[in-house]
Amino acid sequence: MVVSHRRADFSVQSHCGGWHDDWESKDRSDRRLIYLNAGFLTAIDTRTGKLAWVFHVIPHEDEFGYETWPKDAWKTMGGGHNWNEMTVDEKRGIAYIPLGSPRFDFHGASRHGQSLFGNSLLALDAHTGRRLWHFQMVHRDLWDYDLPIAPKPVEERPVPKSDVAAEESWPAQPFPAKPPPFARQSFTEKDVNSYVTEARHDVYRFE
In Å, what is the CA distance from 157 to each residue of 65, 73, 146, 160? 39, 46, 28, 10
The boundaries of the domain holding residue 86 are 2-136
pLDDT digits (tens, 9 = 90+) for 143-168: 888 887 888 888 999 988 888 888 88
Q: How many CB atoms lie within 10 A of CB 131?
A: 16
pLDDT digits (tens, 9 = 90+) for 89-123: 888 989 899 998 888 777 788 888 888 999 999 99
Q: Is 138 exposed, middle or buried (0-12, 13-18, 19+ CB in 10 A)?
A: middle
Backbone phi, then psi, for 51, in 5-degree steps? -70, 125
- Of residues 130 and 141, which shows the higher confidence score? 130
Q: Assess if residue 149 is contained within a domain.
A: no
Q: Assess if residue 205 is contained within a domain.
A: no
- Of residues 171 and 205, which shows the higher confidence score? 171
Q: How far is CA 70 from the centre of its chain?
A: 24
Q: What is the pLDDT of residue 121?
A: 92
Q: Is pLDDT above 90 for 24?
A: no
Q: Assess if residue 168 is contained within a domain.
A: no
Q: Assess if residue 81 is contained within a domain.
A: yes
Q: Assess if residue 148 is contained within a domain.
A: no
Q: Assess if residue 25 is contained within a domain.
A: yes
Q: Is pLDDT above 70 for 41?
A: yes
For position 85, which CATH number holds? 2.40.10.480
- CA within 13 Å, CB half, 79: 28
pTM of the entire structure?
Answer: 0.68
Q: Assess if residue 170 is contained within a domain.
A: no
| Strand ranges, E, within the chain | 2-5, 8-11, 17-19, 22-27, 40-45, 51-56, 87-89, 94-98, 120-125, 131-136, 154-158, 172-176
Contact 119, 137 (CB under 8 A): yes
Q: Assess if residue 190 is contained within a domain.
A: no
Quote the number of domains for the chain. Answer: 1
